[in-house]
Each structure stands twice: as C-alpha cells, then as structure tokens.
Structure 1
Amino acid sequence: MANLRDELGRYGIWTQQLGSGEPARRGEIGEAAAELEELGFGAVWLGGSSWVGDAVPLVEATSRLTVATGILSIWQYEAADTAARFHEVEAAHPGRFLLGLGASHARLAAQYRRPYSAMVGYLDALAGAGVPAGRTVLAALGPRMLELARDRSGGAHPYLVTPEHTAQAREILGAGPLLAPDLKVVLTADAGTARAAARAHLHMYLALPNYTNNFRRLGFTDEDFADGGSDRLIDAVYAWGEDARIRRRAEEFHAAGADHVALQVVGADGSAPPRAEWRRLAALLG
C-alpha cells in the first residue's frame, strides 16, 4: 500500500467536529478542512461513527486532502448503501475518500453479535459491490481483526492505542498494509491539567470491554482502569507536555511501525473545530 502511505503522509487529524452533515455548518467545515490541507496534514479522520456523506463537504472544499471515516459502524449502515455512496464520492472525487470500518461495541450497538464474522460478511458485500479493498481500512485492535485487515483491506486504523500496540500490529500486518493509529494530544505542559483532561476523555472508553481487553493484552490491569485511569495508562495513551515532548511521542508511533498517525486534540472546546490547536500541532511537528 505504498500509494496509500504517500497519499496520507505522516500525520492527519482525527476529529468529531468536522463530521456534521448540517447544511448550516457546511461553510465552517469547508474552511477548517481547507486550512488543515494548507497546514500540511494529509488526512482528516471523521470520528463518531461517521457516514460516507459526512466526507463530501471536506472533499469538495479541498484539492488533495484524504477524508476518511474513522470509523463507520457496520451495524449502523447497510453494506449496500455504504457501497453505493462510496461509488458516488469516488466518481466525483477519485482517490479522495478512504472508507474506515469498525465493529463498534456491544454497549453501543443493539445488533452486536459475532463482530468478526459480521465484519467478514460486510467486506464480502462491499467486494461484491465493487468497492476496492485498498480503499478500506479496519478499526482493528486484536490479532484476529488485524489479520483480517491485512488480508481483506488496505490496512488498520487502531484507536486508543500505544506505541507497543503499534509494534505488535505492524508485526501482524507485515510490511505492506497501512498502519494508521490515532494519538490523543493534550496541549498543556501541566501534568495535573493534562491528566485531568485525559481522564475526563478516557472515562467512557473504560466502560467498553474491547478497549480494556486490548489494554490487558498490553500489560495493564484493573488497577489501571480505576478512577478514570492510572497515571501509567494516561501517559501511555495520551501525549502531553512541552512541544518537544509531544513531538517525541508522535515519533514513537512511527518508530514502532506506524505509517501515518491521526492526531486528536483532547481538552479543547468540543463545540467548534479546535483550529488554534491544529495550527500548534502543525508547527510543533514541523
């Protein structure tokens, strides 16, 4: 997937603030996407179980930025509809959209059953509808889903992970597929402020077994999940501190085998795109 690596570049932005389909916000979303492109980010990952249509305003407002769903829930959208919408976007804007897929969580999807088999079936349906495997990536955490990402898609986009997970994922994926983990960033050098913001953000994820099971595979224990997360867990998953420290944390993921790192700003006002923080990230990453 060398072309996909080149297309996405080293860094992208993971955001929920640009995924709104509200017509009134189309201009704001387009302006923010255009600025991200100017800042040098190679991709935008639309979080919060985004839909293919959410990518359209960003693609239309930019000329080379890759827009990805990060992650479209296979329980929320039928494969046939996803494929049809994919082909519409691809026909209008060739090579600008990347379909990120995920099996979500039992607590968030009433239909949740046998997620691995469901993902295989979804990929089968997409393939039957002509969606290229190389334009999809999977939100893979465990070994089995990572193997599926290797064999049936363009690669993996793991969420809420560490450099150690990235190294393990690269070993499973091998050299070819894309590996694009997310990294959460708290832009403050104050340890107390940073960890408080991270705990407020992490709290909901610690109620989802897919994530806690993955943390256990990485050597964390129930003690690390108490009270919003131990300092050890927080510091492993979130980058915070002076600019040089945040840059080193991002580089750790690349050193562990990541091709592309999707950066998520944590602790900013969630009602609007954190454009000032994105500018700072672009500057500190060079």
Structure 2
Amino acid sequence: MNDATAALKESVGQYGVWSAQLRADTPAGAAERADAVAELERLGFGAVWLGGNSSARDAAPLVAASSRVVVGTSIQSVWEHEASAAAASFAELEVAHPGRFVLGLGVSHGPRVAGYGRPYAKMTGYLDELDRAGMRPGHRVLAALGPRMLELARDRAAGAIPYLVTPEHTARARERLGEGPLLAPEFKVVLDTDPSRARATARAFLARYLELPNYTRNFLSLGFTEDDVTGGGSDRLIDAVFAWGDEDTVRERIAAFHDAGADHVALQVVEDAPAGTLPREGWRRLAALLA
C-alpha cells in the first residue's frame, strides 16, 4: 500500500455518506448543501460521495464549506468528461485543498450512454490519459463490480467504490484487491421498522437500477435469480441490498460489510420524500446509531 492510499484510508475513516442530492450545482439550494456537508463533518462522517455523473465542479463548494471531510465523485463518467479536463480540475482543487477530493471514476451503463461499447478498454484508455496528465493513481478510485475492473482498481487506482452490492460481493472484492487498496462499497439504509413500508420504499428506489444490466448481471453472479431481479426486486433482494429495521439491525447490517473486508462504507439514506430533498434528519439518526 502506497502512502497516498494509506492517507486516503485514514481520511475517509469507516463511514461516509453517499448522496445524489448533494451533487446539484445550481444556485438554488447551494447554501443548504454547504450547511449540510459541514454538519455531516461534525457528525463524524469521513467522506461525502456525490452520486450521479458528478465532477470536481460539484465537489468544490462542498470542500470549501467544510474543513476535513473528503469529497469524492461516485461517479464521474469516463464517457462524459474528458480525462485532460478531469486531471486539470483535480489539480486545481488539490492545490486549494490538499487531500480533500478523490476522483471516483466509472464506465456508467449501456442504456445511458450513446455509442457505449468496450467499457474496460475505455477505462484503461482513460487512466492512460490521466497518467500522461500527471494525475497519480493514489488520488482516484474505480466503481468496480466485476473481476477485471477490480483488478484495474487494484493496479491503477487507490481502490474500488462498488455500488449496489452485498457483503458477499465485498468479500469477493477484497480477495481480488488484496489488503492494500481501499474498498469502499455503497450501502442503502431505510430507517423504518415497518417491514411492508420499508420494503415498499426500497423497492420504489431500486426499480430504476434493475433496468441496468451491469447490476442485474452482478446480482445473478451472487446467486440471485431472474425472479429476484424483476418486478422491482424480490423481498430477498431488497433485504440483501438495503438495511432496514431497528437500530441494532441496521448497525449489524453495516458491520457485515466491514467484517467482509470493507475499509469504509458509503451509506445512502433512502426515504419516501420529494426528489432532491436532503435526508438531514436521517443522516443525524444514522450518525447516532453508529456512534
């Protein structure tokens, strides 16, 4: 493990927050987003991961609004951002706030990208360009699910940030990565003890992801069936990729990822709320149960 990866592991700590709502770069809501990330830092989270196709531009105001928390993209699409521009944006933010921004890269999904093809080759070419632009591997992580991309995360980045996975996937990923690289899976949490209501909230949220073959193939590789990945997801699948229930249950579900080899877990609070709403009370409850 090199010094940059070791420093990243120490900075992000055991827990972070994953949020698409914090990604927005429009003026409306900017003050609330800045206040929210400062509060997340006070609550003890080590990292904030910006969902969607995010970039250094999205991260910059959040980095400026806080003093310690690491802000990462989860992910920046290699199809929609030029590598040279990504390297330049990283360098600018690194000069202003050393060690506070990490570039999370991903190949996105075929249904969302025109001309999608050969994602592994696209990622390797992108990393080549970052290398030529002077960006070191220790400042980037990859959204890796399958074996080849995990090996790329091991060999040419600081580690992996898998999305929509289980502890079983985390154990496989740790074996593929080895002990050195950062392994920081995302995990969804519904803070509700009612089974029917919690699963309904989770199922409504999960449905969009089950339209994406990268995720469904990964679920099938983990032993789920075609029946599990249709109709918004079976109860079995919902219960595997979401934590819900009382505080002890949620705490145990999160701990299972660490037990399986995760260094850090990026926690996404899922609520039945209008789009764009920051789940600030949920973040507070989550911090309290992890304290």
Give the TM bin, normalised by the shorter chain: over 0.9
Match of 1:227 in 2: 231
Specify which of 255, 273, 281 is matched with residue 259 of structure 2. 255
Deviation at 1:149, TM superposition (A): 0.3
Alpha-carbon distance between aligned partners in 2 of 1:253 and 1:180, rounded to the nearest angstrom: 9
**Amino acid in structure 2 at the alignment position of 1:208:** L
Q: Find the partner of 1:276 among 261, 277, 281.
A: 281
Letter in 2 for 1:83: A
Q: Which residue of 2 aligns with 1:166?
A: 170
Once the 2 structures are TM-superposed, how far is the Cα of residue 25 of structure 1 from its aligned partner?
2.5
Identity, in percent, stands at 62
Query: How big is each residue's C-alpha offset from its partner over 1:199-222, in whole Å with a ceiling of 9 and x where there is no partner?
Result: 101111111110010001100110
Letter in 2 for 1:265: V
Q: TM-score, normalised by structure 2?
A: 0.97
Of 211, 216, 221, the residue aligned with 2:215 is: 211
Match of 1:64 among 64, 68, 71: 68
CA separation in 2, counterparts of 1:176 and 1:111?
A: 35
After TM superposition, list the pairs within 5 Å mapping 1:65-214 onto structure 2: 65-214=69-218
Give the superposition deviation at 1:23: 2.4
How far is 1:268 from its partner? 4.2
3-state SS, counterpart of residue 21 of structure 2: coil
Amino acid at match of 2:281: A
Task: Report the CA distance between 1:267 and its aligned residue.
Answer: 1.8
Which 4+ runs in 1 deviate beyond 6 A?
A: none
Gap runs ≥5 in structure 2: none
SS in 2 for 1:189: coil
Give the letter aligned to residue 230 of structure 1: S
Q: CA deviation at 1:227?
A: 1.4
Q: Residues 2-28 of structure 1: CA distance to partner in whole angstroms, max 9, x if unpaired?
A: 221111000000001111111232211
RMSD: 0.8
Q: Is the 8 A contact 1:75 1:111 kept in 2?
A: no
Q: Report what 1:35 is aligned to.
A: 39
Unmatched runs of 5 consecutive residues or more in structure 1: none
What TM-score do the two structures reach when normalised by structure 1? 0.98
> CA contact under 8 A between 2:271 and 2:279: conserved in structure 1?
no
Give me the whole-angstrom Cα distance separating, in 2, the residues matched to 1:206 and 1:161: 13
Mapped to 1, the partners of 2:6 and 2:91 lie a distance apart of 23
Any idea what SS the aligned residue of 2:93 has?
helix
Question: For 1:229, what is the secondary structure of its paired residue?
Answer: coil
Task: Report the count of equivalent residues.
Answer: 286
